[in-house]
């Protein structure tokens, strides 16, 4: 059976999120490998928190990358045929590239840590924000963002994640995001929720971080992926390592087109998608985007083995 693996990004982290994977030694080994790269004990951090430390971008990004790769390696250890496609939501795209053998895990850990530092430096903590807008269509959210920018005297807010029909995340200066939430509710949004993140990802405020990332990527060796990777910024897969580096730079300032990504997987004949990482965020989005597509979250040892049996 053709299937795809997808990898979550920031937002799926929580203290103790790896507790259910004790049956796979490769999970702890993956955390040990990442800890050696960074010179920091990620296993203790992920198990003990506290939550506010996990939510800091400089900690969240390497932790989630490591968790995603660890779960994929646990799945891989069962000897199943590789997926037909991989994709990652925002930060998860780096885990997808590791799974596709386009990037070594050690290089990915180093890159993601650098990426997080550059993102945090680009906008002082507290100056930016992100909010989820629920119950408005994509164009209505774009219109709200334009209205805020036209009246905000230099502050900006932009669509950042097109997660599913009726769920769009906006990103930008904190005051502009708050104003966007107010206008969205006035326009008929069901809810508007500020997200617990320390940087405004996937908007123009990340342009300085994107330029620093471009320079860093030039120093890292990428390979042509063994598995097609559907990228956030253009919903295409690229064989040329130089093109992959370019799309990772674009990813910082452009929205995550997740709805289109899931539609593209369906159009390619994918009916089963495995979420490799803690939580069920992407599986829930997939169900709303493509009701006939089955999403299985590999949330613990039991879920991994049951999914393997189901795909046998």
**Catalytic residue numbers, as ranges:** 90, 202
Report how far residue 240's alpha carbon sits from residue 248's, in angstroms, rounded to the nearest whole number.
13
Task: Using alpha carbons, select from 125, 58, 110 the residue that is nearest to residue 221.
Answer: 110
Residues whose CB is less than 8 angstroms from the CB of residue 297 and which lie 6 or more positions away in sequence, other chains included: 275, 279, 280, 282, 283, 303
β 85-88/229-230 pair status: parallel
Report how far residue 104's alpha carbon sits from residue 101's, in angstroms, rounded to the nearest whole number.
7
Residue tagged 């900690």 (tokens): 59
Task: Using alpha carbons, select from 91, 90, 6, 89 the residue that is nearest to residue 293.
Answer: 6
Report how far residue 308's alpha carbon sits from residue 143's, in angstroms, rounded to the nearest whole number.
44
What kind and span of H or E run contains 297? strand 294-297
Angle at 262 between CA 191 and CA 148, to 5 degrees: 35
């Amino acid at each position: 059976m053709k299937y795809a693996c997808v990898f979550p990004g920031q937002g799926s982290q929580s203290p103790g999120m790896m507790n259910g994977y004790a049956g796979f030694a490769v999970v702890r080994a993956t955390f040990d490998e990442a800890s050696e790269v960074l010179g920091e004990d990620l296993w203790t951090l992920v198990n003990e928190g506290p939550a506010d430390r996990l939510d800091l971008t400089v900690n969240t990004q390497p932790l989630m990358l490591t968790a995603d790769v660890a779960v994929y390696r646990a799945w891989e250890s069962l000897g199943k045929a590789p997926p037909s496609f991989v994709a990652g939501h925002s930060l998860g795209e780096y885990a997808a590239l590791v799974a596709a053998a386009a990037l070594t895990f050690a290089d990915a850990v180093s890159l993601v840590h650098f990426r997080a530092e550059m993102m945090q430096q680009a906008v002082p903590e507290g100056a930016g924000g992100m909010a989820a807008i629920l119950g408005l269509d994509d164009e209505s959210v774009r219109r709200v963002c334009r209205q805020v920018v036209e009246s905000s005297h230099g502050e900006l807010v932009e669509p950042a994640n097109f997660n599913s029909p009726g769920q769009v995340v906006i990103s930008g200066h904190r005051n502009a995001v708050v104003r966007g939430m107010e206008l969205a509710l006035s326009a008929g949004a069901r809810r508007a929720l500020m997200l617990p993140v320390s940087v405004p990802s996937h908007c123009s405020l990340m342009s300085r971080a994107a330029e620093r990332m471009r320079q860093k990527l030039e120093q890292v060796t990428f390979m042509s992926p063994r598995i097609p990777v559907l990228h956030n910024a253009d919903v295409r897969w690229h064989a040329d390592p130089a093109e992959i580096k370019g799309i990772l730079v674009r990813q910082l300032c452009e929205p995550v087109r997740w709805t289109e990504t899931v539609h593209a997987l369906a159009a390619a004949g994918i009916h089963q998608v495995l979420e490799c990482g803690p939580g069920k965020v992407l599986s829930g989005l997939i169900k709303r985007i493509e009701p006939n597509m089955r999403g299985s979250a590999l949330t613990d040892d039991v879920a991994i083995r049951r999914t393997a049996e189901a795909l046998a």
